[in-house]
Chains A and B, each alone.
Chain A
């Protein structure tokens, strides 16, 4: 039984966490530019507004002007001047939600996972902080339109290769090109914490793994990381008169607090090590991604202000002995312990699965969270963790008008039905190729 057969199915992205080599990319910084700006102001009247901050306005009035929410209030109380809006939409009985944000995603970097030519989420090499997802983000991905139809309007596009995987950016799911789709450029650097126990692969393509064993390189790998961070810190504190090191340059933001460090770690010991690494390096902002065992060290996380991006809730427990619903209730366990967290959809068939992110929050609601807490875990909390909560993540006056309307509860597939969505006040197209094919074949068969 030595010969392996490779059936390409659902590539397991976590397997792609390791790689070798190096890549050099331009360090030019771009400013986010929106191609089109909102011209007509809108008033959304009498909808059930789920604010995103764990509160709800049952009969709301939401005013949108110049791409911003200028009014978000109870319709019974607020004074409304309808005439000051170009358009008034009656949304009685319908639900308003802030645009959902998908953290830690490869959406836009991968089109068909089994087709190598369509994959752009992984570089060669172990230390790749200067590799940036932003420029590979394909605004014309056929997957993106199928995702925003379920209310996901923003995504943190994240590279995956190597130990330090690269730099992510937060993108809007609409735009002519990556420049105008960018919402926050180079928001974070992503680190795959070395695994304490690893497995050998049984095949040459590194798809099928064998039994686990102690990672003999663990000490070397963590030492490499320590050295990298010490060097990068010294480099960025020192005089400018030196040869440029693109990797160190790329890490500057980690030390001045303008950038986040996302550390992917699931195992409890690895999480503890990662938190101590953050402390030892005096990093101002850090986040644990994955965090399957994070519920075991909530005090440590809370005390160090480290948030958790919970990986796909629709997952199996790691051990047969685990509670059957362990992955389902992880968000609740973190909520109960007062740890800041958000939910991501990373995992198998990740790009496509982004459209199911609202339902993962729905499951978290079935297993302990309230529905509004679950919503917060894919909107405002995500925005906070990504550092964009000042401008988005909730339906509050002053923020960008990133929101959508659904006829029913959007966390439940049984009722989810997104009718309209806005990014910076502009109504976005909710059609996609799949809907078009549906219509085409309905017509072929004469179905209604």
Chain B
């Protein structure tokens, strides 16, 4: 029975479209070429063109015309839409409508080095360029209906799986076969940083995903141009095919958007970025990316803050984002960034309209809102000739509403998709509101008053002054009234008919005792109209300010409006500081100078003298340095802070292609904490999971600046290498026994193999570069290999090695490899047995960056001694003390001081180990590392001898600007408390108001799954 019913349902669908021509028909054909006209409606042709009272004429699923005076042909079905509005149906440019759920196969216990995909596809399982939405799409009326109710008529849909996700299709949300609803079968190419269901180990980190995508672009280009290729590769073929389409990149936060934009810049792709909703937090950089955006309305719900102990776990970022998230769309509008709005990322799709109206209340214009839901997505997806407007020849996707679409009270009556109607609410519902003369059981019984919304009517019967409440239900022209009369016990039930022209009602009903009675009501007068303020014109809610970075200890930078801000910036840039009567640790031949004045301007150290007259120096901030010590800023040669989503790409034996510089996290609170410990620069290193790790980034700790702005300008490139237990996976459990190498013997061969190949690569590349354009065209194209390119840079002295190392045998080995392959090991890091081979290191010319006193944490550090740094220094090796630990990074001065204790190093030399020496190892000693006129003003003012445990960094200066000030810090704590308290009070109100709330949870590490990994790798010794 059920089956038959379903069958009937399927074939009874009546469609106007003719896409089914090739399909056999079961039953009688139902061909319909009727015209349909919608008259007297306010028609929004698009966000700009509005016809106050006009006609929309459609036929065969397409718009014939829209206009004030549209001629209506004979034989047209006419709908009078007086007082109603017509809008183009909305378009969601980011859905997975009708797509299969991506399913991951279980990952085995052993590493999976190769792709599991069957067929002649590319090497990486996460690059799924061959996926085509049009081939796996099935229309799904249940989901379509949910979307239609919200007003959507067409969507972009794609398979959400992989870093390259293949092509997406634009489909209508009508019922019918995939063939019928397909609007654009290849509408866009989809990308992300998320490897999805891929079980292949590579990539395991964000920087790995970035490298994989970059290499894929290069490989595809090479594949395209290479006429003599021997391999057939479906994936690269498909990837090339995708390039003509709009390119959409999914991102998970504002920085991820900037990372995508950077890849786009490199490969000349202007991505449409699927944003995350926090773009407003870096809106200047977002604007500068020149990308277009698709943004969600996923505003977070308030937290339950009643328990003060639990509320501590809600970060400043979360608190502020809760308050400010609704600003995101209006920020995009103000900055003229082209953007579409999507219902994606909403936990409950029902929140779409609520949140959109909220965004409007927070400044988004209604015009822009409509544009972002119609014209913009259509333009993004190259379907603006088909959908998004109600112009002649376009698909008849439109909605009929009771009024302004963005008004809270507005009802969407119908959503027409491809010329087919989908009823949502009945606009023929009779408006019964008013006061009626009421007759019941043959006698006048007073006045019946009906009020409320059509689906929620209520009323009263007034006899003299006595009021009785009545319940009213209306369906079509039928009405049911129930009430409990004062003079009877029980409920009277009346049913009847409404004459919608005369507004008279009549019928019969039953009294509580079962007797049948007649009743009547006739319209007397309209009820008084309630005057309510237009909800859309509410004042912009008060919200806090953006801070840079957008987290704890971030600073407001828009405090100064307009011109004052420009002057403020100017002053900041030219900060002039004069520190008087201070003890200066120069790290130069002058040694430690007592009672000197140091003058800083233009970001540099300008003068060091006995007495510099402050009065002549306008703007100068004068600091009394009496009893205090001024040193060069601390430089951490080995750090893993400020890295987003994975420090290791240890899935391959070499990951020379990955770059920490791609994944700098400028909002890591450890940056601020280390500023408080006097750190001004750090080398952010790849982990030590593989013999050839990734490229590192040298940064200045410019708290508040963007990832790109943090990078140390014009610094040489470095790369991490690693030896010993970590790379041979000694402590990785019983299953990690597959990847080569598993012994120190294998590690040597890894290097010989890679450098042999790098040499050949380098020669090929150089030879190719000498060819003329004509010769190049004739030659086999050169395949750029990001991994070998990084190694070739080492051979060409353009990239330098920092090598994680412990025992003497392996240190010796790498120097032999280097000598025979023609490169140098710039720095051995950790190098705990360096003291055993100090003479050999000296001969090779390697530097050392070591721990002060770590040992006993694994077998290979058995012979580590705290005298190592002293011995290496005495042997004439440039030696630094590093942290490799976010906590220790803020006490590096103390770690250096340990060499005074262990090995009797001079205090001056000890300080150099965390300032000048790491600067030398990083090739930045011509700019920083000592206090010398002309050098960059990266300085720390200490309360005491900087090697003493009692010393505190009072001011940390980078580029002549104070980035940490111990007094300001105290003030900021108070301000943060106030700001938190303010938002918390708002959240309490929200909870009282009955809004949804979420429970705070402890976050240690951050909640993000990938961030978790980052935490784990923060120190990777």
Give me the interface of A with B, judged by CB distance under 8 Å.
1-11, 111-115, 142-143, 197, 202, 204-205, 207-214, 267-269, 296, 314-321, 323-325, 349, 351-352, 355-356, 359, 362-363, 365-366, 411-414, 416-417, 434-435, 437-438, 441-442, 445, 447
B692 at interface by CB-CB < 8 Å: no
A320 to B665 alpha-carbon distance, docked (Å):
14
A316 to B948 alpha-carbon distance, docked (Å):
20
B552 at interface by CB-CB < 8 Å: yes
Instruction: Identify the interface centre among A9, A114, A142, A318: most chain B CB within 10 Å of its CB.
Output: A9
Residues of chain B from 819 to 859 with CB closer than 8 A to chain A in the complex: 835-836, 838-839, 853-859
- Nearest to A293 among chain B residues (CB) is B309
Once A319-B313, A413-B898 are accepted as A-B contacts, the answer to whether A434 and B865 lie under 8 Å apart by CB is yes
B205 at interface by CB-CB < 8 Å: yes
**Closest-CB distance, A285 to chain B (whole angstroms):** 27
Residues of B within 8 A of A205 (CB): 733
A445 to B874 alpha-carbon distance, docked (Å):
10
B945 at interface by CB-CB < 8 Å: yes
Interface of B is mostly: loop
A324 to B966 alpha-carbon distance, docked (Å):
10
Q: Lowest 3 A-B CB distances belong to which pairs?
A: A8-B731, A114-B858, A320-B669
Instruction: Identify the interface centre among B863, B887, B951, B1017: most chain A CB within 10 Å of its CB.
Output: B887
By the criterion CB–CB under 8 Å, are B862 and A112 in contact?
A: yes
By the criterion CB–CB under 8 Å, are A113 and B858 in contact?
A: yes
B140 at interface by CB-CB < 8 Å: no
CB < 8 Å neighbour of A7 from B112, B552, B1002, B1020 = B1020
By the criterion CB–CB under 8 Å, are A413 and B894 in contact?
A: yes
By the criterion CB–CB under 8 Å, are A447 and B874 in contact?
A: yes
| CB-based A-B contact count at 8 angstroms | 214
By the criterion CB–CB under 8 Å, are A438 and B857 in contact?
A: no
Stretch binding the partner chain, chosen from B129-137, B437-445, B644-652: B644-652
A315 to B673 alpha-carbon distance, docked (Å):
11
**Closest-CB distance, B944 to chain A (whole angstroms):** 8
A316 to B857 alpha-carbon distance, docked (Å):
20
Residues of B within 8 A of A142 (CB): 856
Once A208-B1012, A318-B1004, A320-B553 are accepted as A-B contacts, the answer to whether A352 and B887 lie under 8 Å apart by CB is no
**Closest-CB distance, B452 to chain A (whole angstroms):** 42
A362 to B949 alpha-carbon distance, docked (Å):
6
By the criterion CB–CB under 8 Å, are B732 and A7 in contact?
A: yes
B959 at interface by CB-CB < 8 Å: no
A407 to B651 alpha-carbon distance, docked (Å):
51
Contacts A1-B205, A321-B976 supplied; 12 other A-B pairs, CB < 8 Å: A2-B104, A3-B201, A3-B204, A113-B857, A113-B858, A320-B315, A351-B856, A352-B854, A359-B949, A366-B949, A414-B901, A441-B838
By the criterion CB–CB under 8 Å, are B1012 and A207 in contact?
A: no
B80 at interface by CB-CB < 8 Å: no
**Closest-CB distance, A210 to chain B (whole angstroms):** 6
- Nearest to B891 among chain A residues (CB) is A314
**Closest-CB distance, B257 to chain A (whole angstroms):** 19
CB < 8 Å neighbour of B687 from A7, A210, A349, A352 = A7
A331 to B950 alpha-carbon distance, docked (Å):
15
CB < 8 Å neighbour of B945 from A362, A414, A438 = A414
Give me the interface of B with A, judged by CB distance under 8 Å.
104, 107, 111-112, 194-195, 201, 204-205, 309, 312-313, 315-317, 551-553, 645-646, 648, 650-651, 669-670, 672-673, 676, 687-689, 725-726, 730-733, 736, 835-836, 838-839, 853-859, 861-863, 865-867, 871, 874-875, 885-888, 891, 894, 897-898, 900-901, 903, 907, 945, 947-952, 969, 973, 976, 980, 999, 1001-1005, 1007, 1009-1010, 1012-1013, 1016-1017, 1019-1021
By the criterion CB–CB under 8 Å, are A7 and B731 in contact?
A: yes
CB < 8 Å neighbour of A208 from B553, B687, B732, B1013 = B1013
CB < 8 Å neighbour of A324 from B672, B687, B907, B1013 = B672
Once A1-B195, A1-B646, A349-B854 are accepted as A-B contacts, the answer to whether A10 and B1019 lie under 8 Å apart by CB is yes
**Closest-CB distance, B147 to chain A (whole angstroms):** 31
A355 to B676 alpha-carbon distance, docked (Å):
25
By the criterion CB–CB under 8 Å, are A10 and B731 in contact?
A: no
A269 to B857 alpha-carbon distance, docked (Å):
33
A221 to B651 alpha-carbon distance, docked (Å):
39
CB < 8 Å neighbour of B949 from A113, A202, A413, A437 = A413
A362 to B897 alpha-carbon distance, docked (Å):
13
A5 to B312 alpha-carbon distance, docked (Å):
31
CB < 8 Å neighbour of B865 from A143, A214, A437 = A437
Residues of A within 8 A of B867 (CB): 434-435, 437-438
Residues of B within 8 A of A323 (CB): 973
A115 to B730 alpha-carbon distance, docked (Å):
10
Once A202-B1012, A320-B315, A362-B950 are accepted as A-B contacts, the answer to whether A6 and B733 lie under 8 Å apart by CB is yes
- Nearest to A323 among chain B residues (CB) is B973
By the criterion CB–CB under 8 Å, are A9 and B871 in contact?
A: no
Residues of A within 8 A of B871 (CB): 438, 441-442, 445, 447
CB < 8 Å neighbour of B1003 from A9, A212, A317 = A212
A438 to B732 alpha-carbon distance, docked (Å):
32
A438 to B871 alpha-carbon distance, docked (Å):
8
Once A211-B1001, A211-B1009, A321-B980 are accepted as A-B contacts, the answer to whether A5 and B204 lie under 8 Å apart by CB is yes
Can you list 19 contacts pairing A with B, beta carbon distance less than 8 Å?
Answer: A3-B107, A4-B1016, A7-B688, A7-B726, A9-B1020, A10-B857, A10-B885, A11-B857, A197-B1001, A202-B1012, A208-B1013, A211-B1001, A319-B552, A321-B316, A325-B676, A352-B854, A356-B853, A365-B950, A417-B901
By the criterion CB–CB under 8 Å, are A1 and B1009 in contact?
A: yes
By the criterion CB–CB under 8 Å, are B856 and A212 in contact?
A: no
CB < 8 Å neighbour of A316 from B673, B839, B859 = B673
A8 to B858 alpha-carbon distance, docked (Å):
8
By the criterion CB–CB under 8 Å, are B945 and A319 in contact?
A: no
- Nearest to A365 among chain B residues (CB) is B950
Once A324-B676, A359-B949, A438-B871 are accepted as A-B contacts, the answer to whether A2 and B858 lie under 8 Å apart by CB is no
Residues of A within 8 A of B836 (CB): 441
Residues of B within 8 A of A351 (CB): 856
- Nearest to B875 among chain A residues (CB) is A445
- Nearest to A297 among chain B residues (CB) is B309
CB < 8 Å neighbour of B856 from A113, A318, A363, A438 = A113
By the criterion CB–CB under 8 Å, are B309 and A349 in contact?
A: no
Residues of B within 8 A of A411 (CB): 949
Residues of A within 8 A of B1005 (CB): 209
- Nearest to B319 among chain A residues (CB) is A321
- Nearest to A198 among chain B residues (CB) is B1002
- Nearest to B315 among chain A residues (CB) is A320
CB < 8 Å neighbour of A213 from B854, B886, B951, B1001 = B1001
A214 to B1001 alpha-carbon distance, docked (Å):
8
**Closest-CB distance, A121 to chain B (whole angstroms):** 14
- Nearest to B727 among chain A residues (CB) is A7
CB < 8 Å neighbour of A414 from B645, B947, B976, B1017 = B947
Residues of A within 8 A of B863 (CB): 437
**Closest-CB distance, A249 to chain B (whole angstroms):** 35
By the criterion CB–CB under 8 Å, are B689 and A1 in contact?
A: no
Once A3-B107, A363-B949, A414-B948 are accepted as A-B contacts, the answer to whether A9 and B204 lie under 8 Å apart by CB is no
A55 to B865 alpha-carbon distance, docked (Å):
35
A349 to B857 alpha-carbon distance, docked (Å):
6
Residues of B within 8 A of A416 (CB): 901
By the criterion CB–CB under 8 Å, are A268 and B309 in contact?
A: yes
Residues of A within 8 A of B859 (CB): 112, 114-115
**Closest-CB distance, A289 to chain B (whole angstroms):** 18
**Closest-CB distance, A204 to chain B (whole angstroms):** 7
**Closest-CB distance, B672 to chain A (whole angstroms):** 7
A210 to B730 alpha-carbon distance, docked (Å):
24
By the criterion CB–CB under 8 Å, are A414 and B857 in contact?
A: no
A35 to B669 alpha-carbon distance, docked (Å):
52
Instruction: Identify the interface centre among A3, A112, A197, A204: most chain B CB within 10 Å of its CB.
Output: A3
Residues of B within 8 A of A434 (CB): 855, 865-867
By the criterion CB–CB under 8 Å, are B1012 and A211 in contact?
A: yes
A376 to B991 alpha-carbon distance, docked (Å):
48
